[in-house]
Amino acid sequence: MPSTKQVVLNAPLDMHLHLRDGEMLENIALCSAQTFSAAIIMPNLVPPVSTKEEVVAYKKRIEHAIADEKFTPYMTLFFKPSYDKVFLESVKDHITAIKLYPAGITTNSEGGVSGFDVEELRPALSAMAALGIPLCVHGETNGFVMDREAEFVSIYEKLASAFPDLKIIMEHITTKESVAALDKFENLYATITVHHLLITLDDVAGGMLQPHLFCKPIAKRPEDREALLKVALEAHPKVMFGSDSAPHPKHAKESCGCAAGVFTSPIALQLLTEIFEKNNVSFDKLQVFVSGNAQNIYGVTPPAKTVVLEKKPFKVPSNYNGVVPMYANETLAYRIKEVNHG
Ligand code: DOR
Ligand code: ZN
């Protein structure tokens, strides 16, 4: 009898993750901590994580929620133009990056940046560059929803050329324009989600509206998805996997006024494996996309963890502690067989 196909991933990293707080954190943290070695934790709590005390306390709550799992939360602060060198020096050992949100663009981003005036941002961004703190950016303008990310590319270019020593990570890119920007500036990098490798706007709103596929930035056109797939599958050295897994309670998704966010953390590695297989790409590239590139870009060394996936049907549960995942009740080609530490 032929043996079941297996794929082994070492130290998978999720370089963009929403773990939330309180009951939600307790309910969903293990979905990431059991299979990933580490993750960049987004700071868009209410209120946003923006002081040393807040980031230290939030990390403790995450560590409580993940119990004994070997998983490192790479903490971030919510960017404020008022951050100065003295503050950043005092907090730098507690964080891995700082996340910039344009004001009001997505969930809990009301206190973000408006205007993107280079001189206004210079003190904070120059200090970050000097201290080696990367800047993660939610790159959308408040223009027409399908054009927001493409319109933001000129802001990325402005920041990248004004601060050449600052590592700028274009988060959850969804367009061919963002992919093209990667090769124009040495200091621009990107994360890519698994859902944006799989869906287009058609899947969200082309038939009956699918609230569990609604997120910011919204999924775009087939040619955008192709551009993302190309750089993910070749494990382009400037792209990393970042799920943007963003849990909301079922009632907040299946409601009039659906919250943005796709919950993928428990199925992300299974889906990525299937994508690389379907495209006949070596799993060595998947390893680089899901861990190696992030280690190089961020200069991190995550804890050892080996995830073994096997090609056996996996029926996605209808919910994880009340949170509905992408592809709930559908069957995936791969399942997680075991996770080994050390
Ligand atoms: O869809 C999204 N959900 N996009 C974001 O940028 C934020 C996230 C959330 O926090 O729910
Ligand atoms: Zn996010």
Distance, CA 297 to ligand 1 centroid (Å)?
23
Helix (H, G, I), strand (E, B) or coil at 265: coil
Residues 275 and 273: their CA atoms lie apart, in Å, by 5
Task: Provide CATH code, domain 17-261.
Answer: 3.20.20.140
Nearest CA to ligand 1 atom 7: 107
| Ligand 1 nearest atom to the CA of residue 215, by list position | 1
Determine the distance separating the centroid of ligand 2 and the alpha carbon of 260, expressed in angstroms. Answer: 10
**Residue 321 Rama label (left phi>0; alpha psi -120 to 50; beta):** left
**What is the distance in A from the centroid of ligand 2 to the CA of 66?**
20
Measured from CB, residues less than 6 Å from any atom of ligand 1 are 18, 44, 106-107, 138, 215-216, 246, 260-261
DSSP labels, 314-340: EEPPS-BTTBPPTTTT-EES-EEEEEE
Test site for ligand 1: of 19, 44, 45, 107, most ligand atoms within 8 A of the Cβ: 107
**Ligand 1 pocket: which of 42, 216, 248 to mutate (most atoms <8 Å of CB)?**
216
Q: Which of 299, 243, 304, 236 is nearest to 270 (CA)?
A: 243
**Rounded-to-integer distance, Cα 261 and Cα 258, Å:** 9
Q: Using the structure block, give the residue that is written with the tokens 């990107």.
A: 190
User: Which tokens hold the place of 269?
Assistant: 């590695």
- Just list the catalytic residues: 244
Q: Is the dihedral of CA 16, 300, 287, 284 positive or negative?
A: positive
Pairing status of strand 76-78 against strand 97-100: parallel
> Which H helix or E strand runs over 63?
helix 52-65
Answer whether 295's CB lies under 8 Å from 288's CB.
no
Q: Which atom of ligand 1 is nearest to the CA of 105?
A: 6
Write the DSSP symbol of residue 201.
Answer: H
- 318 in Cβ contact with 326 (< 8 Å): no
Q: Which residue has the tokens 């404020």?
A: 80
User: Which listed ligand is nearest to 204 at the C-alpha?
Assistant: 1
- CA 159/CA 100 separation, integer angstroms: 12
Domain ranges of the chain: 17-261
Residue with tokens 């919950």: 263
Burial label, 9 (beta-carbon count in 10 A; 0-12, 13-18, 19+): buried
Give the residues of the chain that fall short of pLDDT 70.
Answer: 1-2
The whole-angstrom separation of Cα 119 and Cα 135 is: 17
- C-alpha–C-alpha distance, residues 26 and 62, integer Å: 8
pLDDT at 2: 66
- Closest ligand 1 atom to residue 214 Cα is 1
Contact 85, 130 (CB under 8 A): yes
pLDDT tens digit sequence for 175-198? 999 999 999 999 999 999 999 999
pLDDT, residue 1, reads: 61
pLDDT for residue 110: 81
Q: Which helix (H) or strand (E) holds 15?
A: strand 13-17
Residue whose CB lies within 8 A of the most ligand 1 atoms, among 28, 244, 265, for a mutation test: 244
**Cα of 6 from ligand 2 centre, angstroms:** 31
Cα(341) to ligand 1 centroid in Å equals 31
